[in-house]
Chain A
């Protein structure tokens, strides 16, 4: 069940058995009548300095997974070990469980984990100036005073490609791409080590998307950042990620090195998903695998493998038994009963 990272791996974040169930409440007394299993037993890890892509269709739980790790939602079960020096008295690195950290610990740890959000309009408080927005994490953690803070802000703005005079302005005066840059500057204010990027480019225009992706890559190199890159766009995820995890209805169905995943997918869902992406090439003859029907309802998933009703390789066992998430090849994990025998098509 557990993907055991090999000891020489430089693991920054090790998430195991993460679950987040949202109760469904009905009636006057708000009795819980069921659960939306948004994240259902998810296991993955992130190495230092790498980008893990988390990809899947809407409602697959990728955003919830990211938010639960940083405790925006309280987890239902699981652990998320994060390597940090902040909590040990002598400053030596140790693995701390984010999901069990108390309030004080969590506040300290949040200096090392930042988030970038999807919506460049909604993610900046319209009532605050740019400098207030970027300074907020610094103020919360009591870093620096007056001129110092200003200097940090100016540096950050320049680093993300904005001008220092922008700091006196308000979010509505910026274009979508610029707002996303402000959001990135805010995320970098505390020098984090892990940045959870939640669909950072999906609301941006094509030409702005490329600029933003390049900026994220430059920053990663400069500050040795690790990214969890949550997105629905397979081509974007493949472009930025070292490794990719594919989610379907709250579970990770496959996780592997990006190139490996795209060339040798082991899960039928990955194969179908990749074949469905429209290719920017009018001469490309797609042999598209059309998945029938809609994504399963996470409050009432089908038995066995959640993908089996839409899977063209499904056999008896698929509807009865939940497949195990296992390392089939080195660093290539998959949850499919028939992974060993199937010959799937990559891109």
Chain B
């Protein structure tokens, strides 16, 4: 009899009003892929940026005698087939390959090092604030030969797992920080360019075209080469962020400008103007919020590009330099045939990088769909 049947018809119709952003959130939540992407990113940022010192069993520069040691596998069952509740690793034993004269390490089942959790090791400051010395896991270091390298070590005998954690911090932050600068530059210039038009617009547009006309890598190289060698690595890091942002703001400014141009003639903007609204009110109350959804999507989808640019630059040796460690720096160390042949665990960086980029794309795609909550109604 009823002409339309509502799914779950018994529930009373919700009269709760929903703002744009709550609609976006509601639609975003329904997209499982995007939510997974978001959760991965939250976990990654928490682990790499916030808790790297806690999670890493060793500090960044702690060297051991085991160079290019393979990963020590975490085990529950020993050589006799006995099950242990407390996980353990076997100790490492030196081998000399008679043909290549190369020193290699192998696991030695006779030496068992149980893994202890929340151990007190090298002191650090949690979140840069709270001094502590608790690490998530470690082995009893009263035996100087004891070690735990779950992803092996590099040619200097440094724990690779710890280095990936610390390296992720810089790589992930450069993406976020660089994108933030890009957003700032792109939005401000785009809004001004689109709103005022005329000579301002002309100047901004020609500048973006000029920047876009340059091929990326040579421009990076030129700018990176201009960074003085004697600058401290931290300064280099910030300079690199600024360079990345500087090269990439043009595209965003252009998109924002286009959006502003189309929004400027919207009737609601005219309505505000006819009521006497000031330029600032029009730009920041009516125009910019209208572009936000697009900007967020574009920004999310271009963070991976940012991260990859850093990686590429560092890999080329133009970006970050040791002792600063990023995924790019790690990849550079691993980027030889030799390394791939004899120390394939040095490629552990790649899965982390891939997952990060994939997660950003999943999140960005989900956001793009969610940002248009009125569509399809």
The short answer to whether A and B are in direct contact, CB under 8 Å, is yes
A-side residues, CB < 8 A to B, are 30, 67, 70, 72, 106-107, 110-111, 113-115, 117-119, 122-127, 129, 136-137, 140-141, 165, 168-170, 172-173, 183, 186, 190
Across-interface contacts of A136 in B (CB, < 8 A)? 272, 275, 277
* Size of B's binding interface in residues, CB under 8 A: 23
Task: Pick from B202, B270, B374: contact of A67, CB below 8 A.
Answer: B270
Across-interface contacts of B276 in A (CB, < 8 A)? 106-107, 110-111, 137, 140-141
Residue of B nearest to A120 (CB): B267
The 24 sampled A-B contact pairs (Cβ below 8 Å) are A67-B270, A106-B276, A110-B276, A111-B276, A115-B270, A117-B267, A117-B270, A118-B267, A123-B266, A123-B268, A123-B270, A125-B290, A126-B20, A127-B20, A129-B17, A136-B275, A137-B275, A140-B276, A141-B275, A141-B276, A170-B17, A170-B20, A173-B17, A186-B275
Q: Is the CB of A168 within 8 A of B268?
A: no
Q: Is the CB of A119 within 8 A of B275?
A: no
Whether, in the assembled complex, B110 has its beta carbon less than 8 Å from a beta carbon of chain A, the answer is: no
Interface centre among A67, A113, A137, A183 (most CB of B within 10 A): A137
Whether, in the assembled complex, B281 has its beta carbon less than 8 Å from a beta carbon of chain A, the answer is: yes
Across-interface contacts of A183 in B (CB, < 8 A)? 271
Cβ distance A130 to chain B, nearest Cβ, rounded Å: 9
Given contacts A140-B276, A141-B276, A172-B374, contact A127 B290 (CB under 8 A): yes
Across-interface contacts of A126 in B (CB, < 8 A)? 20, 374
Across-interface contacts of A118 in B (CB, < 8 A)? 267
Task: Pick from A113, A125, A169: contact of B17, CB below 8 A.
Answer: A169
Q: Is the CB of B275 within 8 A of A129?
A: no
Residue of A nearest to B269 (CB): A125
Across-interface contacts of A67 in B (CB, < 8 A)? 270
Task: Pick from A113, A122, A169, A186: contact of B266, CB below 8 A.
Answer: A122
Cβ distance A82 to chain B, nearest Cβ, rounded Å: 14
Task: Pick from A115, A119, A125, A173: contact of B274, CB below 8 A.
Answer: A115
Q: How far is the CA of A122 from the CA of B281 in the complex (A)?
A: 18
How does the 8 Å CB contact mask read for B249-286 relative to A, with 1 for contact and 0 for none? 00000000000000000111011111111100100001
Interface centre among A111, A127, A170 (most CB of B within 10 A): A127
Q: Is the CB of B275 within 8 A of A110?
A: yes
Whether, in the assembled complex, B123 has its beta carbon less than 8 Å from a beta carbon of chain A, the answer is: no
Within 8 A of A (CB), among B333-372: none
Whether, in the assembled complex, B19 has its beta carbon less than 8 Å from a beta carbon of chain A, the answer is: yes
Q: How far is the CA of A140 from the CA of B274 in the complex (A)?
A: 11
Q: Is the CB of A140 within 8 A of B18?
A: no
Residue of A nearest to B206 (CB): A28
Interface centre among A67, A126, A173 (most CB of B within 10 A): A126
Q: How far is the CA of A172 from the CA of B374 in the complex (A)?
A: 8
Whether, in the assembled complex, B322 has its beta carbon less than 8 Å from a beta carbon of chain A, the answer is: no
Q: How far is the CA of A113 from the CA of B273 in the complex (A)?
A: 12
Q: How far is the CA of A124 from the CA of B278 in the complex (A)?
A: 18
Residue of A nearest to B18 (CB): A170
Q: Is the CB of B268 within 8 A of A124?
A: yes
Given contacts A70-B274, A170-B20, 20 further A-B contacts (CB under 8 A): A67-B270, A110-B275, A110-B276, A115-B271, A115-B274, A117-B271, A118-B267, A122-B267, A123-B266, A123-B267, A125-B289, A125-B290, A127-B19, A127-B20, A140-B272, A140-B276, A140-B277, A170-B17, A173-B18, A183-B271
Q: How far is the CA of A183 from the CA of B272 in the complex (A)?
A: 11
Q: Is the CB of A72 within 8 A of B17?
A: no
Across-interface contacts of B202 in A (CB, < 8 A)? 30
Across-interface contacts of B270 in A (CB, < 8 A)? 67, 72, 115, 117, 123
Q: How far is the CA of A117 from the CA of B273 in the complex (A)?
A: 13
Given contacts A119-B267, A122-B267, A123-B267, contact A129 B274 (CB under 8 A): no
Interface centre among B15, B266, B289 (most CB of A within 10 A): B266
Q: How far is the CA of A183 from the CA of B266 in the complex (A)?
A: 14
Residue of B nearest to A189 (CB): B275
Residue of B nearest to A30 (CB): B202
Q: How far is the CA of A115 from the CA of B268 in the complex (A)?
A: 11
Cβ distance A340 to chain B, nearest Cβ, rounded Å: 40
Across-interface contacts of B374 in A (CB, < 8 A)? 126, 172
Residue of A nearest to B278 (CB): A140
Across-interface contacts of A140 in B (CB, < 8 A)? 272, 275-278, 281
Across-interface contacts of B19 in A (CB, < 8 A)? 127, 129, 170
